[in-house]
Structures are given as C-alpha cells and as structure tokens.
C-alpha cells in the first residue's frame, strides 16, 4: 500500500496525536480516537465504543503502565480471560495489536492460536477488518499472517528518529508441540506483546517457551490469553488455579455482556441443561466440572452465593487462618454464624508479618475464637499469638476425627461440617473461594466408608492450587464455639436450649 497524499502538516498532526501520552499510555482513549465510532456510513455507525469488559481490560493496561513508571522493578502484565462465546474477544485482540504497533515504535507482537485455521481465518481476519477502519491504516501493510509498517514509515523513522525497525511487526506464529523450541524468538527492548487466542488449546510447552520473550526488564511487556475454558487441565486452566498468583484472571459470563444475542445463550442452556459442559463453556465462561468425585458441587456454592446476608449479630464470630506455604497465599477469613464477613489474602511467608495481620483482624472483629492451621508455618504463628495472650487454638488436618465412622481425619471432618453449613449459608461471590471449595475430590480410603479427601499433594498433581480460602473457612468448624447469648440453635436457627456454659455444634453454623 502506498502512502496517501497527505500534507506534511496533516501527517505531523496525526502522529503527534497518536504518539501523545494521552493516547500512547491509555489504550481505551486510543481505541475511542482511532476508530470511527458512531460515524455514518461506516461499519461502526451503530456502535458508541467498546463493551464494558473490553474497557476494563484496556484500563488494566493503563493502570499497569502508570504503576510500572513509578516502580523500581518493572513487572510484565499477564492476563488470562475465560469467557462464553461471542463477547468480542477477537475485536479486543485487534485493538491491542494496533495500539501496540502504533504507540510503541519498533515493538514486536506475537499472536498464536489453537490451530492454523483459527489464526488465519478468525484472528487475522478480524485484525484485517479493524486495520481497514483505523485512522492510520495507511501506516501498515497487511499480509496473510503479518502486519508490518509501510516502507515510507520505515524510512521516516530511520531518518528522523534514527531508530531501528527490524522487529517492528505483528506476526501470527504457528507452533509445534513436538518442537517447542522452534517457537522461540527475538527479545525486543522497544516492547513485547504475546497474545494467545483460544489459549485453552495451546500446548503447555509453548507457554514455557513464550516466557522467554519477557526476560528484558522493560516497561512494555504484555501477555494476554483469551479462550473459552474448554479443558480443566493445561496451562490456561492453571492460570486460574495453581498459577493464579502470576496471572490476572477474569471469567466472563456471556449473558452479562451488552449487545449480545441473549436468546442464543438461553437456547444452549435449554437444549443441553444448565449444568452441562456446553452451558459452562459456551455461556458461563466456566471450566468443565471435574465429575462425580468432586466433594462440593458448584450448585451448592452458587446457592450459597445467591443468598443475602443473615446478619445474625447474636452468633459468635470465628476467625480462621490458613498460613502460606510454598508460594501460596495466607488467608484470614472471618465468619459469623451463617455469614462470611471478610476474606483477606496476603502474599507473604514472614511469620511476624502474618502475626500482625491476624492481630489486626482480631482487634477489628473481636472474635470468640481464632483458629489456625498449625501445620508448617502455622506453628510459630500460633505460639507467638499465645504468648501475647490472644484467644487462639491450633488444628492439625491430620488429627483423628471426632467421628471416625464418618470422617477419616480432622480435615475431612471440617470439610464435611463446612459442606453441611453451605446448605443454608451466605457467602460472597468470590472467584478464588469458589474455585477452592470445588477443588478437592473424594479419595478411596482403603475400603472404609469414612470420608477421605485427596491431599494437597494429590491436588498439585492435578495442577490445582492449594485451596487456601476454603481451608481458612474449614478451620472455623474445628471446635464448638459459644453463642453470644449463651444458647444453642438447631438447623433452622430456632433456640432449643439456653444456659451460660452451653456450646453450639459446629455444623449448626454458630
């Protein structure tokens, strides 16, 4: 494509606008400026701008840039988005490519998909459509799997900016699971972006090689993974589980996205069922169920999330603490009766820092009891809090159960009590809590009827994260705790017995 006949003043004005900090460091403003939104006679005549979820991602980039500019060590932005179908993923991918190429002179964008057909016909087909509409379309020369600067722009940058342009390109890159090293590429100090489209189908070794693109300590390092969540294993699944501390994970229900045909989603749900694979993947943006061996099912959790808070102020407050191990989060959870009041997560293994965080929670909520998983890091934390005369108790998940015919060990007992509690509880719509509650499966306990849950080691073998949030909730059921009015309540929460030294059973939710 040849450069159109523009006056030098017009071209300089366009460049000054596109390279201004207002558009350069704010992708949302760039997208609103660069495309003909609401302009008659264009494909965007009936559209005012990006959808809300798309704006959220663009704003995440803006905020990341601002944070990185003021940081001693610059971080790469890694974001994984699991969603139902038809929400506009390919459009957002196109905007990201065009923003990066335009505003980061000399930068490199690598785009891969689950298949060659997806890359060429869907991903690159959408990019070609948006390239034709962008205000600086004459800057770029598109081919089947590349978008590179036009020769006149290369000459201009080389001459006036004295800047190399060898790696200034967006490239659709194929991959081979048998030869992942062939995926490796050049590093680029001018900026690096990797985009995985339908990432659930990209083999794990390719993700490992792609990490090598981000070894330079530079401001502009971005890695985005978009997909329908079709598999409950693999690296994309790990982004929301065992690797969730290294990725910003977003899960989007297609029914919540504006300007989509809701009747299509209703038809999928009606045809296949609300708990079907098709509904989860194509509509809800959720990973498939792991099957009948799952101990706590999603429906039970969803019901608890949909209930309003009970706000029973006579119920005792109990704090559960699951200290961090091996890169996991420390979680401090506050429960009052059938309500979860607070969930706090801390990325630290410093025992004194954790002690301070627990003390802060105790002073804020004045619990009847604080219970700590005393295994590993929890032991020193428990000892320090006892030294300071806080009302705390420890629990070991490997202890014998009080009900050995029902539960194989203390961990199974606490999770069993927690599952019963969920039937009438109210819990927050917290993605990590939900993921953690659904994670453990039942395990064969050598022919015994007593319940045994798989260990955290077994879960890691399935590439699942440690269920920190659920464990913090589970330990609140380790001991009976006195009701604030000194009474015991039944499952329906009607008072059945009263007295100054009476305790409620943990399954009663108080």
For 478-491, the pLDDT digits (tens) are 999 977 554 443 33
Residue in 362, 300, 318, 309 with CA at minimum distance from that of residue 504: 318
Could you tell me the CA-to-CA distances from 72 to 82, 98, 191 in Å, in that order? 31, 29, 18
Residue in 374, 367, 350, 473 with CA at minimum distance from that of residue 359: 367
Quick check: 450 and 436 in contact, CB under 8 A?
Answer: no
> Which residues, at least 6 apart from 159, have a Cβ–Cβ distance to it below 8 Å?
none
35 DSSP 8-state letter:
S
pLDDT tens digits along 251-295: 999 999 999 999 999 999 998 889 887 899 999 999 987 665 788
Model confidence band, residue 444 (pLDDT cutoffs 50, 70, 90)? low
**What's the mean pLDDT when you consider all of the chain?**
89
Work out the number of other CB atoms within 10 angstroms of the CB of residue 58.
22
Q: Which domains does the chain have, with CATH numbers?
A: 8-248 (3.40.50.300), 298-508 (3.30.420.240)
- Computed on alpha carbons and rounded to an integer, the radius of gyration of the chain in Å comes to 27
Residue 279: HSE in the Cβ half-sphere, 13 Å Cα cutoff: 12
pLDDT tens digits along 223-235: 999 999 988 889 9
Does the pTM of the predicted model rise above 0.85?
A: no
Residue in 426, 441, 467, 398 with CA at minimum distance from that of residue 302: 426
User: Among 31-40, 49-58, 183-192, 199-208, which is the least confidently predicted range?
Assistant: 183-192
Q: How far apart are CA 287 and CA 418, in angstroms?
A: 23
Rounded (5°) CA angle 315-317-319: 150
């Amino acid at each position: 494509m040849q450069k159109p006949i523009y006056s030098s003043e017009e071209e300089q004005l366009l460049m000054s606008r596109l390279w201004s900090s207002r558009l350069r460091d704010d992708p949302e403003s760039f997208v609103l400026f660069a495309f003909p939104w609401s302009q008659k006679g264009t494909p965007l005549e009936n559209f005012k701008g990006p959808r809300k979820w798309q704006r959220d991602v663009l704003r995440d980039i803006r905020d990341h840039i601002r944070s990185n500019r003021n940081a001693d060590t610059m971080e790469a932005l890694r974001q994984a988005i699991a969603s139902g179908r038809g929400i506009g993923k390919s459009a957002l991918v196109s905007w990201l490519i065009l923003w990066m190429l335009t505003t980061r002179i000399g930068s490199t964008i690598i785009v891969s998909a689950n298949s060659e057909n997806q890359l060429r016909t869907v991903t690159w087909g959408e990019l070609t459509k948006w390239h034709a509409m962008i205000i600086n379309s004459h800057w770029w020369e598109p081919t089947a799997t590349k978008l590179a600067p036009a020769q006149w722009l290369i000459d201009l940058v080389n001459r006036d900016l004295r800047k190399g342009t060898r790696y200034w390109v967006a490239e659709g890159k194929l991959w081979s699971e048998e030869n992942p090293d062939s995926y490796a590429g050049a590093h680029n100090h001018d900026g690096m972006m990797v985009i995985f489209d339908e990432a659930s189908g990209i083999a794990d070794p390719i993700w490992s090689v792609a990490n090598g693109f981000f070894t330079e300590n530079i401001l502009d390092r971005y890695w985005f993974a978009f997909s329908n969540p079709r598999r409950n294993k693999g690296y994309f699944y790990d982004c929301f589980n065992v690797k969730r501390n290294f990725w910003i994970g977003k899960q989007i229900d297609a029914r919540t996205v504006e300007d989509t045909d809701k009747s299509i989603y209703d038809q999928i749900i009606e045809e296949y069922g609300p708990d079907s694979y098709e509904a989860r993947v194509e509509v809800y943006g959720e990973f498939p169920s792991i099957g009948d061996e799952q101990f706590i099912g999603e429906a039970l959790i969803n019901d608890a999330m949909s209930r309003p808070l009970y706000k029973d102020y006579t119920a005792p407050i109990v704090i559960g603490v699951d200290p961090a191990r091996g890169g996991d989060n420390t979680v401090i959870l506050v429960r009052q009766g059938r309500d979860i009041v607070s969930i706090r997560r801390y990325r630290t293994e410093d025992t004194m820092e954790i002690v301070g965080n627990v003390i802060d929670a105790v002073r804020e909520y004045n619990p009847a009891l604080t219970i700590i998983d005393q295994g590993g890091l929890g032991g020193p934390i428990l000892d320090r809090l006892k030294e300071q005369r806080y009302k705390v108790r420890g629990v070991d998940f490997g202890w014998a159960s009080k009900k050995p015919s029902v539960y194989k060990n203390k961990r199974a007992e606490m999770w069993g009590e927690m599952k019963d509690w969920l039937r009438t509880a109210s819990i927050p719509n917290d993605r990590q809590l939900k993921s953690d509650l659904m994670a453990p499966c039942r395990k064969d306990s050598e022919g015994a009827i007593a319940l045994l849950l798989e260990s955290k080691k077994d879960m890691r073998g399935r590439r699942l994260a440690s269920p920190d949030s659920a464990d913090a909730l589970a330990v609140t059921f380790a001991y009976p705790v006195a009701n604030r009015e000194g009474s015991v309540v039944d499952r329906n929460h009607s008072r059945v017995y009263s007295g100054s030294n009476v305790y409620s059973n943990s399954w009663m939710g108080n």
